[in-house]
Amino acid sequence: MADNMILERLEGVKIRFDEVGQLLSDPDVMSDVKRFVKLNKEYKNLEPLIEAYDKFSNILSNISDAREILNKEKEEEMREMAKMELDELEAQVTPMEEEIKLLLLPADPEDDKNAVLEIRAGTGGDEASIFAGDLYRMYTKFCENKGWKMEVTHFNEGTSGGYKEIVINVSGNGVYGVMKYESGVHRVQRVPQTETQGRVHTSAATVAVLPEADEFDVELKTEDIKRDEYCSSGPGGQSVNTTYSAIRLTHLPSGIVVTCQDQKSKLKNLDKAMKELKTRLYNLEYQKYMAEISLKRKTMVSSGDRSAKIRTYNWPQGRVTDHRINLTMYNLSAIIDGDIGEIIDKLQLAENSERLKEAAI
């Protein structure tokens, strides 16, 4: 029976859960910060499965008791009560099995991390920059509704508004696991502000979402980093523009360059720039992993392929189409105002379906 197979899997998880719990109280483990952090994260990730295990075991046990009453009890009232309870319990089994199957899927260890969000204007000139600004405002409102914190680390404004590029650190609970679905090319179809004959133009902006590297993910050598200091540009007041507080870091082995200018403090800008550099180096390896699994999963929505057209925003029709799952919605104004939760939910559902097929749980 499927429920017995699932119980066996969960019993194995329970053994590991207890083992990790004991290790976390081991003085040797507690003195090894890197190992302790890793085990503590694993323990927290296993907790939902243990809760599901207890709930599922209880349901199956109560089903067994109800069946036993039906087999042995002769009093009609007791049999009727047992039958009603059995019907209610059996109706919970399949949904519970599906929930557990999803929980049993190996979690992407990056999903719990904060993220670096990059938005860059693509083809379309000024209109592409304006659209990049629209996407930035869309994500700002979405993140605000999620209770996440956003910090702009670098930006380059467009000549007619919006941004040629803007880089934001997003921190909160499970940011990357949600925002990773936004990586790719976003296309806009509308009449630009500069268009005098009312023709619809197509422009694009590229979005990249990177999981922020943890403290232990990347080890940087001082001799591999070239540091430059310069005056910040853009909003911020006279003190920002006249103080050498902006930081540019160049990682010599890889050629990766990051800049940070949003803080008046040189140390704060340096700290943010170092975090972003670690994230970019970490992502060189992470993207190789994403490319490998995207080959196996046709509907992989977080493949990291930033050249893939993922979504079209059509202003004349008020339409948004996500090309990865052939989803079309006619509430563009709400979506561009930050209401992208339903799209992300459907993308997660599609990916989970593919992962279940792969795992054959």
Q: pLDDT tens digits, residue range 25-38?
A: 989 989 988 888 88
Overall average pLDDT of the 219-225 stretch: 81
**Could you report the per-residue pLDDT of 180-213, keeping only the tens digit for each?**
999 889 999 998 876 667 788 899 999 988 888 7
Residue 108 has what DSSP assignment? P
Tell me the CATH number of domain 222-284, given options 3.40.50.300, 3.40.50.720, 3.30.160.20, 3.40.50.620: 3.30.160.20
Residue with tokens 């040189």: 266
Q: How is domain 2-104 classified at the CATH fold level?
A: Methane Monooxygenase Hydroxylase; Chain G, domain 1 (1.20.58)
Phi-psi region at 15: left, alpha or beta (left = phi > 0; alpha = psi -120 to 50):
alpha
**Structure tokens belonging to residue 125:** 């000139």
Overall pTM > 0.75:
no
Q: Where are the domains of the chain?
A: 2-104, 115-217+308-359, 222-284
Strand stretches in 178-308, DSSP E: 184-190, 201-211, 225-230, 246-251, 256-260
Q: Taking a C-beta distance cutoff of 8 angstroms, is the pair 133, 158 a contact?
A: yes
Alpha carbons within 13 A on the beta-carbon side of 158? 23
Find the range with the poorest average confidence among 42-56, 98-112, 128-142: 98-112
The CA distance from 338 to 142, in Å, is 4
The CA distance from 349 to 62, in Å, is 31
CA 40, 46, 51, 53: dihedral to nearest 10 degrees? -140
Pairing of strands 319-322, 327-329: antiparallel
Element holding 117 (H helix, E strand)? strand 115-121
Comparing 223 with 314, the larger pLDDT belongs to 314
The CA distance from 73 to 23, in Å, is 48
Overall average pLDDT of the 142-162 stretch: 92
**Structure tokens belonging to residue 272:** 């943010």
Length of the chain (residues): 361
Could you tell me where the DSSP H helices lie in 122-222?
A: 126-146, 175-179
**Could you report the per-residue pLDDT of 267-291, keeping only the tens digit for each?**
888 888 888 888 888 777 666 656 6
Percent of the chain with pLDDT over 70: 85
CA 291, 297, 303, 306: dihedral to nearest 10 degrees? 100
The CA distance from 299 to 302, in Å, is 9
| Residue 127: count of CB within 10 angstroms of its CB | 26
Could you tell me where the DSSP H helices lie in the chain?
A: 2-23, 27-31, 33-72, 76-104, 126-146, 175-179, 238-242, 266-296, 332-336, 341-359
Helix (H, G, I), strand (E, B) or coil at 194: coil
The CA distance from 49 to 323, in Å, is 33
Q: How is domain 115-217+308-359 classified at the CATH fold level?
A: Alpha-Beta Plaits (3.30.70)
Backbone angles phi, psi at 246, to 5 degrees: -75, 145
Residue 340 has what DSSP assignment? -
The CA distance from 92 to 50, in Å, is 18
Residue with tokens 């949003």: 262
Q: At 237, is the pLDDT very low, low, confident or very high (cuts 50, 70, 90)?
A: very low
